[in-house]
Each structure stands twice: as C-alpha cells, then as structure tokens.
Amino acid sequence: MKPEADHQPFKDPGLSWSQLRAFEACARLSSFNAAAAELNLTASAIRYQAGLLEGRIGVKLLDRQGGRLSLTSAGAAFARQISRPMRELVRACAAAGSSAATAPITLTAPPLFARQFLFDRRFLKWCDDNQVRLDVTDAKRDLLATDQIVAVRLDAEEDADLAATPILAVALVLAAAPSVAALARPSDPAWWADQILLCPSVSDNAWPWAWRMLKLPAPKTTRPLHFSSYAAALEAACAGHGVLLAPLPFSEREFVAGRLLRLSDVRLSSRIGYSLVMRRELALLPRGRSLQRRVLSAVTK
C-alpha cells in the first residue's frame, strides 16, 4: 500500500528564504525597486536573488521589459502556491519566538559558585520575577535539549551551537586544615612525599605549576585523591584529609572561619575560569542578554 501523497518524504528543492522572499515581494509589488525598499536591500540584490530562483527552478517567473515587471504564467501560478505557506512560516516563526521569550529558563550553577554569588536576595527575586529557576548542581545538563537551560560552567568547551561568556577567573592557593597546616613544611620535598593531594579534575594540571612556584621538584610518592567537584574537595580539605589548591574566592569563608589555613604565599592564577553558557539563539534574545547582565552583576558587585 502506497503512502498518501501528503505523507511523502520531502525532497529539498534547494531554494533559500532570500530567493523566495525576493520573488514574493516582486510578484506583489511589480517592481524591483519597490521590493528592494520593502526588504531594505538594493534593487540589484533583488534581481540577483530572483535570478537564482529562476535558475534553480528552471523556468522564467518574471518578465522584465524596460522598467516594467510582470509575472509569467508560471510565475503567477508559483506566486499563488507559495504565498500562503510563506505567511504561515512567518507566523510559525513569530509564535516560536514568542514562546521562547516567555518559557521558563533553568540556570544551573556549581554549589561553590552559587554559594558565593547567587544566593543573594535581589538576584533570587529577579529570578522569580523573570521565570528563571536556579538549579544548584555539579551535574552537566544538556544545553541543546528542548528545555531552555543556561549553565555556569568551569572550563567550558567551545561549541558552535553555544555562546559562552567569561564571567570569573579563579586563583588557587595551597591550603589545608589546621591539623595538617600545624605540621606543614611546604619547602621540604620529604614532607610533600607523605601528603595526600586533593585533586578536583579541573585543577590536576595546576600541581606542576605549584611545584615550580615553590622551587621544588615534583614529589615522587604523593598520593592524589581525585574529586569530580571543587565543593567535595574543599570539604575533604577542611576535614583534614589532605592538601588542596583551594580556589579563590570560593574558599574565603573557610579561611575566615579557620577551617582552612594557607600553607604558603604562593598564589596561582588559574588558566581556567567560569563562563555563562547558553544556546546561541537564546543569547540573542532580550531574556538571554538580561540574564547575562544579572549574573555578571552578581559576580562583580
């Protein structure tokens, strides 16, 4: 049994919206110049697009006689057939844009970042007023899914479909709990050989840099303990389980409370930082730009 004609797979005719739009305006206004004025293009650009359309279809659609422009019989039939679908497509795009402009946005942020910058009453009220839901998690959400999701990410990877706005650089300092710091000898390679290095994945590459700053060879017998997030590694450091390259400004509360102590004056400027990442089309909308400004304001206040 053959499928109904309306359900046949579409065959791409290879036409562009620019070609169809130029032809539709010419057919309706009977003038290259009038079509150009309406579409904010030059008359030569309108002629070029209309010519591309005729070449692609393989039939003459417009009669050009001096300054006059008229439709051929094929052009008149084609204009009637595309007029309604084009209007429906424009309405569908407008409806989709309106839906995107009002749909809820989920803003995901790592716990340390959220604690430091986003748990502010004014920021949370702005989120409530603008249908932005804050999701505090280290899990990476799919930003290209159907839901509108924006993420604060550390060391964000480049993606052609995503817009990433840098919002914060991170500094790292050597730190440990008071029980560990009391016996610390950070300039002694032998002391380091007995230590557990607390290693969030994003700071693994910073340890060789720390050894250079301390003017020490890399210890041969250190025991790294790996973590998926800074928050977990920070808690382990406060509990006395090892030495951490603590991220600033996120660990400042632990230093002020005495849960962590710095082991040296070494301060590393991290080569990674936090970015606000969202789909490119959302970044172009007023809501996306407004969210960017709000997050940047929360970080820099």
Residue 2 lies in a domain: no
- Asked whether 241 and 196 are in contact (CB, 8 A), the reply is yes
- Same domain for 140 and 222, yes or no, is no
Q: What is the pLDDT of residue 10?
A: 64
- Same domain for 206 and 149, yes or no, is no
Q: What is the pLDDT of residue 14?
A: 80
- Same domain for 217 and 93, yes or no, is no
The model's pLDDT over 124-148, given as tens digits with 9 standing for 90+, comes to 999 999 999 999 998 888 888 777 8
Confidence of residue 97 (pLDDT cuts 50, 70, 90): low
Residue 7 lies in a domain: no
User: What total of structural domains would you count in the chain?
Assistant: 3
Give the per-residue SS3 of the chain: CCCCHHHCCCCCCCCCHHHHHHHHHHHHHCCHHHHHHHHCCCHHHHHHHHHHHHHHHCCCCEEEECCEEEECHHHHHHHHHHHHHHHHHHHHHHHHHHHHHHCCEEEEECHHHHHHHHCCHHHHHHHHHCCEEEEECCCCCCCCCCCEEEEEEECCCCCCCEEEEEEEEEEEEEEECHHHHCCCCCCCHHHHHCCEEEEEHHHHHHHHHHHHHHCCCCCCCCEEEEECCHHHHHHHHHCCCCEEEEEECCCHHHHHCCCCEEEEEEEEEEEEEEEEEEEHHHHCCHHHHHHHHHHHHHHHC
Q: What is the pLDDT of residue 208?
A: 87
Using alpha carbons, select from 89, 103, 113 the residue that is nearest to residue 168. Answer: 113
Lowest-confidence region among 33-37, 95-99, 153-157, 294-298: 95-99
Calculate the average pLDDT of the chain: 87
- Same domain for 163 and 180, yes or no, is no
Q: What is the pLDDT of residue 223?
A: 77
The model's pLDDT over 55-96, given as tens digits with 9 standing for 90+, comes to 999 999 999 876 678 999 999 999 999 988 888 888 887 777
Q: What is the pLDDT of residue 1?
A: 45
Confidence of residue 255 (pLDDT cuts 50, 70, 90): very high
**pLDDT for residue 103 is more than 60:** yes
- Same domain for 193 and 209, yes or no, is yes
Residue 293 lies in a domain: yes
The model's pLDDT over 104-130, given as tens digits with 9 standing for 90+, comes to 899 999 998 999 999 999 999 999 999
Tell me, what CATH number does 267's domain have? 3.40.190.10
Residue 3 lies in a domain: no
**pLDDT for residue 6 is more than 90:** no
Q: What is the pLDDT of residue 101?
A: 61
- Same domain for 56 and 131, yes or no, is no
